[in-house]
A and B are shown apart, each in its own frame.
Chain A
Amino acid sequence: MDSAQVLHLTLDGPEATRALGAQLAAAAEPGDAICLVGPLGAGKTTLVDGCARAMGAAPARSPTFVLAHRYDGGRLRIWHLDLYRLDDPAQVADLDLAQYFERSAVTLVEWADRAPHELPADALRIVLEVAPPGRRATIQASGPASQALLERLAAPHRRSEAAGMTTA
Chain B
Amino acid sequence: MRLLGIETSCDDTAAAVVVDGRTALSNVLASQDEFHREYGGIVPEIASRKHAETLNFVIRHALAAAGCSLRDLDGIAVTCGPGLPGSLVVGVAAAQALAWSLDLPVYAVNHLHGHLFANYLAPAGAEPVQPPQAPFVCLVVSGGHTDLIHVEAPDRHRVIGRTVDDAAGEAFDKVARLLGLGFPGGPAIDRLARQGNPHAFDFPRGLAGDGSFNFSFSGLKTAVRYFLDAHPEARVDRAADVAASFQAAVVDALCEKTIGAARRLGLRGIALAGGVAANAALRRELRDRAASYGIAVHMPALAYCTDNAAMIAAAAYYRGDRARVRPDDLRVDPNFAW
Residue of B39, B45, B225 touching A40 (CB-CB under 8 A): B225
**A66 touching B40 in the complex, CB below 8 Å, given contacts A39-B225, A40-B222, A41-B226:** no
In the complex, A67 has a CB within 8 A of chain B: yes
Residues of the B chain whose Cβ atoms lie less than 8 Å from the Cβ of A87: 39-40
In the complex, B169 has a CB within 8 A of chain A: yes
User: In the bound complex, do residue A67 and residue B165 qualify as a contact, i.e. CB atoms below 8 Å apart?
Assistant: no
**A62 touching B334 in the complex, CB below 8 Å, given contacts A85-B40, A87-B40, A94-B45:** no
Residues of the B chain whose Cβ atoms lie less than 8 Å from the Cβ of A46: 165, 218
In the complex, A8 has a CB within 8 A of chain B: no
In the complex, A162 has a CB within 8 A of chain B: no
In the complex, B46 has a CB within 8 A of chain A: yes
Number of interface residues of A (CB under 8 A): 23
- A4 nearest CB across to chain B (Å): 31
Q: For residues 35 through 79 of chain A, which have their beta carbon under 8 Å from a beta carbon of chain B?
A: 39-41, 45-46, 49, 59, 61-62, 64-68, 70
Q: Which of A39, A41, A70 counts the most B-chain CB atoms under 10 A from its CB?
A: A41
User: In the bound complex, do residue B144 and residue A41 qualify as a contact, i.e. CB atoms below 8 Å apart?
Assistant: no
Residues of the A chain whose Cβ atoms lie less than 8 Å from the Cβ of B4: none
User: In the bound complex, do residue B164 and residue A61 qualify as a contact, i.e. CB atoms below 8 Å apart?
Assistant: yes
In the complex, B143 has a CB within 8 A of chain A: yes
Residue of A40, A65, A86, A96 touching B221 (CB-CB under 8 A): A40
| B interface bracket (residues with beta carbon within 8 Å of A) | 20 to 34
User: In the bound complex, do residue B226 and residue A96 qualify as a contact, i.e. CB atoms below 8 Å apart?
Assistant: no
Per-position 1/0 for A85-106, Cβ under 8 A of B: 1110001001110000000000
Chain A residue, CB-CB nearest to B334: A70
Residue of A45, A49, A59, A94 touching B46 (CB-CB under 8 A): A94
Q: For residues 136 through 171 of chain B, which have their beta carbon under 8 Å from a beta carbon of chain A?
A: 143-144, 163-167, 169-170
- B199 nearest CB across to chain A (Å): 23
User: In the bound complex, do residue A41 and residue B221 qualify as a contact, i.e. CB atoms below 8 Å apart?
Assistant: yes
A residues apposed to B, CB below 8 Å: 39-41, 45-46, 49, 59, 61-62, 64-68, 70, 84-87, 91, 94-96
Nearest 5 CB-CB pairs, A to B?
A41-B222, A85-B41, A65-B143, A65-B144, A62-B166
Report 30 cross-chain contacts, Cβ distance below 8 Å, ordered by A residue: A39-B225, A40-B222, A41-B218, A41-B222, A45-B165, A45-B166, A46-B218, A49-B165, A61-B163, A61-B166, A62-B218, A64-B166, A65-B10, A65-B41, A65-B143, A65-B144, A65-B167, A65-B170, A66-B44, A66-B84, A67-B42, A67-B84, A84-B41, A84-B174, A86-B40, A86-B43, A91-B39, A91-B43, A94-B43, A95-B44
B residues apposed to A, CB below 8 Å: 10, 39-46, 83-84, 143-144, 163-167, 169-170, 173-174, 178, 218, 221-222, 225-226, 334-335
